Amino acid sequence: MRRSMAVRWTSVTVCAAVGLLLAALNARPAAAQELGFAAVAVSPSTLDTGESAGTTSLASVGFGAVQACQSIGAKDCKVVYSVVNQCVALAIKKNPNSYAYGIGPTREGAAANALAACKKEGAGGIECWIEQSPCANDDPRWTSPLPLPPDGAPGMVDPGLVGLWKLNVSNGIWVWQISAYGTYTFHSEAPDKAQPHNGTFMSNNGHYTLHATSTPWDDQGTYTMQGSTAVVMTGKLGTGTWYRIAADPGYSGRPLVPALGPASGPAIKR
Burial code (b: 16+ CB inside 10 Å, e: under 16) for 68-100 equals bbbeeebeebebbbbbebbbbbbbbbeeeebbb
Closest by Cα among 234, 236, 254, 238 to 246: 254
Report the CATH architecture of 1-25+145-270: Beta Barrel (2.40)
Quote the longest CA-to-CA distance of the chain. 51
pTM: predicted TM-score of the whole model, two decimal places: 0.75
pLDDT digits (tens, 9 = 90+) for 215-253: 889 999 999 999 999 999 999 989 999 999 987 655 544
Banded pLDDT at 105 (limits 50, 70, 90):
very high
Radius of gyration from C-alpha coordinates of the chain: 17
pLDDT digits (tens, 9 = 90+) for 151-206: 777 788 999 999 999 999 988 999 999 999 999 999 999 998 888 999 999 999 99
Helices marked H in the chain — which ranges?
Answer: 58-70, 107-119
Q: Are 42 and 53 in contact (CB under 8 A)?
A: no
Domain borders along the chain are 1-25+145-270, 37-132
What pLDDT does residue 249 have?
Answer: 59
